[in-house]
Structure 1
Amino acid sequence: MNTPLAERLRPQTLDDYISQSHLVGPNGTLTSHINQGIIPSMILWGPPGIGKTTLANIIATTSKRPFYTLSAISSGVKDVREVIEKAKNSGGLFTAKNPILFIDEIHRFSKSQQDSLLQAVEKGWVTLIGATTENPSFEVISALLSRCQVYILKAFEKSDLEALLKRAIEKDEFLSKKNIKLEETSALLRLSGGDARKLLNIFELVVNSDVKDMITITDAMVLEKVQNNTVRYDKTGEQHYDIVSAFIKSIRGSDPNAAVYYLARMVEGGEDVKFIARRLLILASEDIGNANPTALVMANTTFQAVTTIGYPESRIILSQCATYLACSPKSNAAYMAINHAQQLVKQTGDLSVPLNIRNAPTKLMKEIGYGEDYKYSHNYENNFTSQEFLPKEVSNTRLYEPGNNARENAQRDFLKSRWKEKYGY
């Protein structure tokens, strides 16, 4: 049989579709849209082998729409325009039968390619379904993103992957002829990296390599049958998230050796330099913050530099930044402060801003007290005067607590003196 197992088992209906209940379950976000055939343009975002293409096919089949598909890897602007013309002729106006244009790996489309989709989506000539493994906020142009709903597909749980294996044993025409016992699944799940397509293909390889009618699947057997059992870095799979996590935690833990090692793993795996630089930029603020404000400047400069240069030279810039950040003092005080502040806002709602610090651009506002009694700090000794800036309902609230490092110790001493002058303690 030439057709891969993953393709033979591809679900044809929502009843056969495993996982993503938050989207296509009984109360899922997409369920009512699919059942009614009223489908918005959308971006399906999730790891590889999670069912993005399958879901697009099911949506088209269930809603009985013409279905056109393109791959961003091999298609250009000309291909996009040709498909749009076909779609216009088969559908035309925005109706329940509006054609669906599915674009796999839409994040690989250039700006001009994405621009070529805008009119078709806005005019309703097609309903766009794009699939991506990358954050669409970074990889899809804002004009196109604003015309689409973004739906996040979650990684498979262990139970989902095991259910796929059992389905293969029970329902596949060829595997069901063999007596297969799943005694252990850890090796299969680990080698697949959570990718259902890869899982089924490895499983088929293991089963087909054994000529016996009765086969017991164990971890040792799987590792023996799969020659290349060393998991390589996959920039869109589980290894992607594991390596990035190790990279960030190594820098957070002030270990430049581990940091540059995991950086090398990503570089050798062909990871997007902008992705690495974005992670460094976030870390510089989240984990270093005011302990060393220069870290944020360094990370931002790194992002700009690698965006301009690319591989292979950008590896040097990334190494410099990663080791610098690893050797910097650490503080998450700013990160914790905004978390506490957001929690307070959610709990207390839209509290009134004190009148004395409100803006008063009109005569009426001045007459009703806007800006009245505001004390301009620079007019007072030490550039400080006691006045309350928080709403009265949450006055005296401390949200920012400086970290324990040289720079923030100085901040703490400064704030303590101001607090004592302001509240008397």
Structure 2
Amino acid sequence: MRPLAERMRPRGLDDMVGQGRLLAPGSALRRAIESGRLHSMVLWGPPGCGKTTLALLLAHYAEAEFVAISAVLSGLPQVRDVLAQAQARFEGGRRTVLFVDEVHRFNKTQQDAFLPHIERGTILFVGATTENPSFELNSALLSRCRVHVLEAVSPEDIEQALRRALDDRERGLGDRGIAIAPVLLRQIAIAADGDVRRALTLLEIAADLAAGEGGVVGEHTLQQVLADRTRRFDKGGDAFYDQISALHKSVRSSNPDAALYWLARMLDGGADPAYLARRLTRMAVEDIGLADPRALQMAIEAWQAHDRLGSPEGDLALAQLTLYLASTAKSNAGYVAWKRARADVEAYGTQPVPLHIRNAPTGLMKSLGYGKAYQYDHDVEGGVALGQTGFPDAMGEQVYYEPTTRGMEARLKEKLDALREARAQARGEGT
């Protein structure tokens, strides 16, 4: 009565599909497992890539007791109880492989409870997580464990697991005479999205539906099984931040096709369109800037259009914005200039405003020199008073904004270069 995915769980390292880099013959981890000389570890990888199976195999090869707890369901009292049992087992000459699923959900106090037992060797700690351990696990636990990165299983490796399940008469579907075309088996492998457990579950559902159709899994049956499937996505985890990073960097590198793909991936996975609109607006400011000032206007308009239309109609507005941002001229000169100006604000402290550009609404202020010698630019030939500065006296003239030669900034650069040279000459600094 166990699910097919559970029945087909590998019994040895050679039965595992995927993870060839980590478990290849002769690899460090494989040699450690086969020799039984194991270390505490954290297994980091997506769902269905084999973290639980690997933990079970660790216990098998080490001839140790396997104990599993879930950070979602367990509290500190249960953790202490499990550790006390492991201590008693250790004193009796038997080690314990303690598998902690979703270990990133434990808080710091709960994670710290494992530390002395890992140090004494009471337990072989195996934590499983789908989140980046650097962010989710405390440094004390990480310092006592080795992190092993597992990868999503390829469609080819998943197909191998599916064929094995179809042929296995003891644990799989071999005694049911299920027939499925290779091309349809490939569809299941792709739909599983790197998750072996998911693939086997889909195959089992298809086999159950095919029972009334002579045991043949046809295209119509498979369409029912694969309907409304979702891709792997975590609105608050690594997959989320990796994908928004991919979207941003694709826009920055002027690759509209890649940018559109990542936007579609995130919307498909359930990302908040308002969040995506905000990030795209940030790209318009940070990466396009004054090379194309229209980009910011388009970003605001696309955001407003999505607010009014909603999904899926409004998604097209975000798609068109993404294409435009990725295709147009780029400049981060404004972004760099802003950072330089802020750095000088911190470095120079509270500098007084030069007297000539202070406001002088009263006679007293005028008598104190406020506004004295100020040149009204509109009354000066050329419209710019070249001889006066806008910076505090202690700073002198500074250059923060250096326009690029891309897009509309090329014209700004030409004008500003000429003005800066003229100001330098007016101050007697020109060449």
TM-score by length of 1: 0.60
Kept in 2, the 8 Å contact 1:234–1:240? The answer is no
Cα deviations by residue, 1:292-340 (Å, 9 ceiling, x for unpaired): 69xxxxxxxxxxxxxxxxxxxxxxxxxxxx99x9798885989xxxxxx
| Pairwise CA distance, 1:243 | 11
Aligned to 2:211, the other structure's residue is in SS state coil
Kept in 1, the 8 Å contact 2:289–2:331? The answer is no
Partner of 1:78: 77
| Cα separation, 2, equivalents of 1:260 and 1:204 | 30
Partner of 1:3: 2
Aligned to 1:185, the other structure's residue is in SS state helix
Partner of 1:66: 65
Partner of 2:102: 105
Kept in 1, the 8 Å contact 2:210–2:216? The answer is no
Higher radius of gyration, 1 or 2: 2
| Pairwise CA distance, 1:211 | 2.7
| Residues 1:154 and 1:383: Cα distance change in structure 2 (over 3 Å) | same
1:132 paired to 2:129: yes
Kept in 2, the 8 Å contact 1:185–1:217? The answer is no
| Cα separation, 1, equivalents of 2:111 and 2:125 | 11
| Residues 1:414 and 1:201: Cα distance change in structure 2 (over 3 Å) | same
| Cα separation, 2, equivalents of 1:10 and 1:179 | 21
Partner of 1:179: 177
Matched letter for residue 266 of structure 1: G
| Pairwise CA distance, 1:186 | 4.0
Kept in 2, the 8 Å contact 1:70–1:102? The answer is yes
Cα deviations by residue, 1:253-294 (Å, 9 ceiling, x for unpaired): 5999x969946953579xxx9xx89xx99x979x9767669x
Kept in 1, the 8 Å contact 2:10–2:16? The answer is yes
Partner of 1:404: 406
| Cα separation, 2, equivalents of 1:291 and 1:81 | 55
| Cα separation, 1, equivalents of 2:415 and 2:289 | 17
| Residues 1:153 and 1:413: Cα distance change in structure 2 (over 3 Å) | farther
1:151 paired to 2:155: no
Aligned to 2:140, the other structure's residue is in SS state helix
| Residues 1:15 and 1:77: Cα distance change in structure 2 (over 3 Å) | same
Matched letter for residue 210 of structure 1: A
Cα deviations by residue, 1:87-145 (Å, 9 ceiling, x for unpaired): 1121259x9x5422110111111222112222222333222101111111121112211
| Cα separation, 1, equivalents of 2:329 and 2:16 | 45
Kept in 1, the 8 Å contact 2:131–2:238? The answer is no
Matches within 5 A, 1:113-124: 113-124=110-121
| Pairwise CA distance, 1:176 | 1.1
Kept in 1, the 8 Å contact 2:210–2:221? The answer is no
| Cα separation, 1, equivalents of 2:103 and 2:414 | 48
| Pairwise CA distance, 1:150 | 0.9
Matches within 5 A, 1:406-425: none
| Residues 1:223 and 1:59: Cα distance change in structure 2 (over 3 Å) | same
- Stretches of structure 1 lacking an aligned partner (at least 5 in a row): 294-321, 335-380, 385-400, 418-425
Partner of 2:270: 266
Kept in 1, the 8 Å contact 2:243–2:266? The answer is no
| Cα separation, 2, equivalents of 1:31 and 1:260 | 39
Cα deviations by residue, 1:203-236 (Å, 9 ceiling, x for unpaired): 1111122235853334432113x2x711236535
Kept in 2, the 8 Å contact 1:288–1:331? The answer is no
Kept in 2, the 8 Å contact 1:98–1:127? The answer is yes
Partner of 1:215: 215
Identical aligned pairs, as a percentage? 29
Cα deviations by residue, 1:334-361 (Å, 9 ceiling, x for unpaired): 9xxxxxxxxxxxxxxxxxxxxxxxxxxx
| Residues 1:147 and 1:284: Cα distance change in structure 2 (over 3 Å) | farther
Matched letter for residue 121 of structure 1: I
| Pairwise CA distance, 1:39 | 1.1
Matched letter for residue 19 of structure 2: Q
| Residues 1:202 and 1:259: Cα distance change in structure 2 (over 3 Å) | closer
| Pairwise CA distance, 1:42 | 0.8
Matches within 5 A, 1:316-335: none
Kept in 1, the 8 Å contact 2:43–2:149? The answer is yes
Aligned to 1:30, the other structure's residue is in SS state helix
